[in-house]
């Protein structure tokens, strides 16, 4: 392998820049040329490549977002799109790539590998932590800290006014963010995609909470929560059924994806980049780099894509006990 491409794809996440830096520097260390591919698979199709040397990634380890930009590419979902991408890579002499992204990005890489027998390696980057084969994805730890910090601030105003807040956090399919920030910020209830708490239990729990003398209440709602109601609908429901509460809503949105990566994410990104490049050098392909018990690990793409990342059920129980 003489030239490795690196791209970021799908939703951005803090730590992606640290991972780009790591891939570029690991290539430099092993005397391999490295090319940045702009705008994910879109840029691959457009041949939007730039050579990157060790110095070109200075000063980015602490930056949020991705200097290579990201995109969700529809063209790469088509065979024609992938053929053009392959031709562009060959033209540039790139003979392997590392994709930093989520399961959609890995599915694309896996299909590409099958069609063209092209060496690929994945690094999981998404704040949702919804990827099988790693206990942590890049950006997850940073997002937890960002969100906890914001909930603390909301708690200040909630308790000054004796209010109930429904706070929507990201997490389409998995409740990792909701569950962890809920415990970390002392939420009264946490609604996640994995469990249907049910409106009755929610109301009952809020009544109990009020009766026990709590001045404010925070309910964390994951984007994809099973109750199937938006935070605004939940507010309406409580407004109609619980006169004792004054309710407000806060949708945190994309601020959760921004900001400087935590030290944990920077270190993880650095380790993952090295592992991805060195795996390609030793002839491995079609794997995602992950971390398990503080050891770097490889999971075949098909397992990473098909497998489901599971929440820790113990956390649900801890949350119940803490919100007594
Ligand atoms: O996958 C990460 C994520 O932030 C999800 O939590 C969220 O549902 C989605 O991306 C939002 O995507 P977009 O930025 O395209 O609106």
Question: Which residues participate in the annotated binding site for substrate?
Answer: 126-128, 163, 170-172, 223, 248, 254-257
Q: Please report the DSSP string for 180-201 in residue order.
A: HHHHHTT-SEEEBTTB---HHH
- pLDDT (0 to 100) of residue 215: 83
What's the pLDDT score for residue 226?
86
What average pLDDT does range 75-98 have in this prediction?
98
Looking at residues 154-158, what average pLDDT do you find?
96
**Which residues surround ligand 1 with Cβ inside 6 Å?**
11, 102, 126-128, 170-172, 223, 257
Does the pLDDT at position 251 exceed 90? yes
How far, in Å, CA of 289 to CA of 271, rounded? 9
Q: How far apart are CA 115 and CA 143, in angstroms?
A: 36
Cβ neighbours for 138, distance < 8 A, ≥ 6 positions apart: 13, 14, 15, 16, 18, 19, 100, 123, 124, 125, 126, 261, 265, 268, 269, 272
Task: Say which range, 24-33, 191-200, 297-306, has the weakest mean pLDDT.
Answer: 191-200
198-242, pLDDT tens digit by residue?
Answer: 899 899 999 998 889 888 899 999 999 888 899 999 999 999 999
Atom 12, ligand 1: residue with shortest CA distance: 11
- For residue 216, what pLDDT is reported? 85
Cα 36 to averaged position of ligand 1 atoms, centre (Å): 23
pLDDT grade for 83, boundaries at 50, 70 and 90? very high
Cα–Cα distance, 312 to 270 (Å, whole number): 26
ipTM: 0.95
Question: What percent of the chain is predicted at pLDDT more than 70?
Answer: 100
pLDDT of residue 300: 98
Q: State which of 39, 170, 175, 181 you would mutate to test the pocket of ligand 1, scoring each by most atoms of that ligand within 8 A of its C-beta.
A: 170
- The pLDDT assigned to 14 comes to 98
Question: What is the atom index within ligand 1 of the atom nearest the CA of 172?
Answer: 8
- Mean pLDDT score of the chain: 96
Averaged pLDDT for residues 296-322: 95
For residue 170, report the distance from its CA to the centre of ligand 1, in Å: 7
Q: What is the pLDDT of residue 250?
A: 98
| 301 pLDDT tier (thresholds 50, 70, 90) | very high
Which positions are catalytic? 128
CA–centroid distance, residue 142 to ligand 1 (Å): 15
DSSP 38-90: TTHHHHHHHT-EEEE-GGGGTT-TT-SS-TT-----SGGGSHHHHHHHHHHHH
Tokens of 211: 């009766």
As a whole number of angstroms, the longest Cα–Cα distance in the chain is: 70
């Amino acid at each position: 392998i003489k030239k490795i491409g690196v791209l970021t794809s799908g939703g951005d996440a803090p730590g992606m820049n640290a991972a780009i830096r790591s891939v570029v520097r690991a290539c430099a260390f092993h005397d391999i040329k490295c090319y940045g591919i702009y705008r994910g698979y879109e840029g691959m199709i457009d041949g939007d490549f730039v050579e990157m040397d060790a110095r070109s990634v200075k000063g980015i380890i602490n930056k949020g977002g991705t200097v290579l930009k990201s995109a969700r590419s529809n063209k790469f979902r088509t065979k024609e799109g992938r053929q053009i991408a392959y031709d562009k890579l060959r033209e540039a002499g790139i003979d392997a790539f590392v994709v930093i992204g989520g399961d959609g990005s890995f599915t694309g890489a896996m299909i590409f590998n099958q069609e063209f027998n092209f060496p690929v390696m994945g690094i999981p980057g998404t704040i949702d932590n919804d990827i099988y084969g790693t206990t942590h994805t890049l950006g997850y730890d940073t997002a937890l800290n960002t969100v906890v910090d914001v909930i603390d601030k909301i708690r200040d105003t909630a308790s000054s006014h004796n209010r109930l807040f429904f706070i929507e956090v990201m997490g389409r399919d998995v409740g990792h963010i909701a569950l962890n920030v809920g415990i970390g910020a002392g939420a009264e209830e946490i609604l996640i995609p994995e469990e249907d708490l049910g409106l009755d239990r929610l109301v009952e729990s809020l009544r109990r909470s009020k009766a026990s003398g709590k001045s404010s209440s925070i309910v964390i709602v994951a984007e994809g929560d099973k109750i199937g109601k938006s935070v605004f609908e939940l507010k309406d429901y409580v407004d109609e059924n619980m006169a004792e509460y004054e309710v407000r809503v806060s949708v945190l949105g994309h601020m959760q994806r921004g900001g400087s990566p935590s030290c944990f994410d920077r270190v993880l990104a650095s380790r993952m980049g090295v592992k991805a490049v060195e795996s390609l050098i030793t002839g491995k392909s079609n794997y995602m780099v992950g971390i398990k018990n503080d050891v770097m690990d490889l999971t075949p793409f098909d397992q990473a894509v098909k497998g489901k990342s599971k929440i820790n059920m113990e956390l649900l129980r801890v949350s119940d006990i803490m919100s007594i």
